[in-house]
Amino acid sequence: MSSSLAIVIFLVGIFVVAIGLHEWGHFWTARRFGMRADRYFIGFGPTIWSTRYDEAEVGVKALPFGGFVRISGMSFGDDRLAPVSDHVLTPDDVAEDRRASASRMRIDVLETPAVPMETWRRVGEELARRGVPADTRTVIVDRARAAAGDHATVDEAREAIDTAAGAMLDDTGRVGDLRHRVLRGDEGRFFHDRPAWQRAIVLASGSFMHFVQAIVLLFVGFLLFGQAIPLPVVDEVLPDSPAEEAGLQTGDRIAAVEGVDVEDFETAREFIRGNAGEPLTFRVVRDGRTIDVIATPEASEVDGETVGLLGFVPEAEDRPLAPGDALYETFVGDTGVVTLSRETFLALGRVFGPDGLGQLFGQVTGEQERGIEGAASPIGLARAAGEGSAEFGPLFLLLILASINVFVGIFNLAPLPPLDGGHLAVLGIESVVNGVRRARGRVPDFKLDPRAIAAVAVPVIVVLGTVFLAVVWLDIVRPIQLP
């Protein structure tokens, strides 16, 4: 795979798929529970493209730095939509419609109908915004106009609209269905109107989608491209190592160790690890000739255990896995979701701990060298994806995309506003307090003060923004070098 193609796939995978599915998780679950989620966008800033999806506007914006879903009631001060008849036929709006009608017809305002044509047109537009199909809203408006007559009052027009809509729209009994949106508006549809467990699912669904993506990416990668299986062939001899001293060379194939035939690298590896400091005889095939090489594994400490190491890198071959093996590796393998999750927690501690932040800004000032284990921005990750995929193949790209999804999924659940985990923490606090109030016979209406939430959110945003800008700067001027 070429580096350029890998970078393009990486950027699409991050900015379209990962972000898009994260926000789709919030969008779908909110709508499923009857909340009014009326905007779903990938990106920020000016709108490039948008369309209507039921009652929602969905689209793409110019700046690919994230995405958002607007769920009514999550922001303090959101207005509730009234039923269509009440929303459209307000005294001020109808009066404005009558003035417009009078101007169009060149007559006195008092000579216009109490409910002019302009008002009926707005009824149709509002029905469209609520997601009513074109043919259905046309019938509703026509029936309502016919039932109300040319001399209907505003109240009679409202009643006619409700009657026509009630007859045309199916009653599923669900909050947020089409009939509910038209006849009852936002009654029961605000975020805080719904039970706490539904709100928690909506908040956590974005991170959940990241884990789903990681699982799919890993499973497809293992199924199609498999794992890099080490072969008993020397690919690289490390300098000043026992392998170099013994005379092993690139391309040597290990045929036997201590007279035991070697069919795979694992056999040779067990001999080497289990015989630290002991000379071993390796039968090696080199350029068609068979020779014996005597090498002594060097004792080294690995994960608290003393093992033998020779100091050479074996060749590896990608082998697709059977579905069962691919599933096992996806979840509990060395690069599975469980391992990636554990590494993510460790990485968060390294990067955002006092030592990690000190090292980061030491790298910015040039006082410290930048290692591969440090943080990286989308710029650095795209470069790494391109270089690594060109060197190691498509599986590397899928692994790095899966790793990023796991990282974002866990990081987003951190209990800090404005992250989803911060909203979950607020929900948890409010639920506990209201549970206590309910047990004591008091009204369970406690809500955290937005000013208290903002007092936490602002410094979090400052820290995250500063770290992000620092990492972007490093990825531009001092990019991470893959080994």
pTM: 0.84
Q: Which residues does 371 contact at the CB level (< 8 Å), separation at least 6? A: 480
Angstrom distance (rounded) from CA 292 to CA 255 = 10
Q: Which residues does 45 contact at the CB level (< 8 Å), separation at least 6? A: 61, 62, 63
pLDDT per residue as tens digits for the range 108-163: 988 899 999 999 999 999 999 999 999 999 999 999 999 998 889 999 999 999 99
pLDDT per residue as tens digits for the range 232-260: 999 999 999 999 999 999 999 999 999 99
Give pLDDT, residue 16.
Answer: 82
DSSP state of 34: T
Tell me what the pLDDT averaged over the chain comes to.
92
Q: Encoding tokens for residue 376?
A: 């990286």
Is 145 in a helix, a strand, or coil? helix
Name the band, by pLDDT with cuts 50, 70 and 90, for residue 15.
Answer: confident
Q: What is the 3-class SS of 199-226, one letter each residue?
A: HHHHHHHHHHHHHHHHHHHHHHHHHHCC
Q: Which region among 62-76, 176-190, 347-361, 458-472 has the lowest average model confidence (pLDDT)?
A: 347-361
Angstrom distance (rounded) from CA 132 to CA 322 = 48
Name the band, by pLDDT with cuts 50, 70 and 90, for residue 482.
Answer: low
Is residue 165 within 8 A of residue 183, CB to CB? The reply is yes
Q: If you count DSSP H runs as helices and E runs as strands, how many of each does the chain have, helices first?
A: 18, 10
Rounded mean pLDDT, 449-469: 88
Q: Which region among 14-18, 80-84, 95-99, 202-206 has the lowest average model confidence (pLDDT)?
A: 14-18
Cα three-residue angle 205-420-130, rounded to 5 degrees: 60
pLDDT per residue as tens digits for the range 206-232: 999 999 999 999 999 999 998 778 899
Name the band, by pLDDT with cuts 50, 70 and 90, for residue 483.
Answer: low
For the chain, report the end-to-end CA distance as a whole number of angstroms.
Answer: 19
**Phi, psi angles (nearest 5°) of residue 457:** -65, -40
Cβ neighbours, 10 Å, residue 464: 15
Give pLDDT, residue 389.
Answer: 87
Angstrom distance (rounded) from CA 408 to CA 267 = 39
Angstrom distance (rounded) from CA 428 to CA 382 = 37
Q: Which residues pair with residue 282 across a beta bridge?
A: 257, 293
Q: Encoding tokens for residue 19?
A: 């972000």
Give pLDDT, residue 356.
Answer: 84
Angstrom distance (rounded) from CA 466 to CA 457 = 14
